[in-house]
Amino acid sequence: MKKYLAIGHFADSNNMTSVAMECSSLKNFRDNLGGNAFIPWVVISEKKMDVLRTIDSFDLFDEVKKMTSNYRRWNDICDYIEQCFDIMEDKMANA
């Protein structure tokens, strides 16, 4: 089982949040998100969390650009990661 974290929002809300869970595959994780009406902007694996933990804020933007092609969300995702990384780590650890 692998742990994944998604940054996005629920269908009935525009508030950005993150959701983490343990699934057998990335496809299974995305299916679970869709079943719970969660719209993911970015999906982060445990390996990617390790990369995000070690990079500085200048390289974060380049890393986010690699994770999604939705250029309208790049700044929002970078801000969320910078401001809420401790929450993301807690969610990933508790998944």
Is the pLDDT reported for residue 57 higher than 90?
A: no
Rg of the chain in Å (alpha carbons): 13
State pLDDT tens for residues 59-93. Answer: 999 999 999 998 999 999 999 999 999 999 999 99
Closest to 52 (Cα-Cα) out of 82, 11, 20: 82
Helical ranges in the chain per DSSP H: 26-35, 46-54, 57-67, 74-94
pTM for the model stands at 0.90
Q: What tens digit of pLDDT does each residue of 1-44 get?
A: 899 999 999 999 989 999 999 999 999 999 999 989 999 999 99
Query: What kind and span of H or E run contains 56?
Result: none
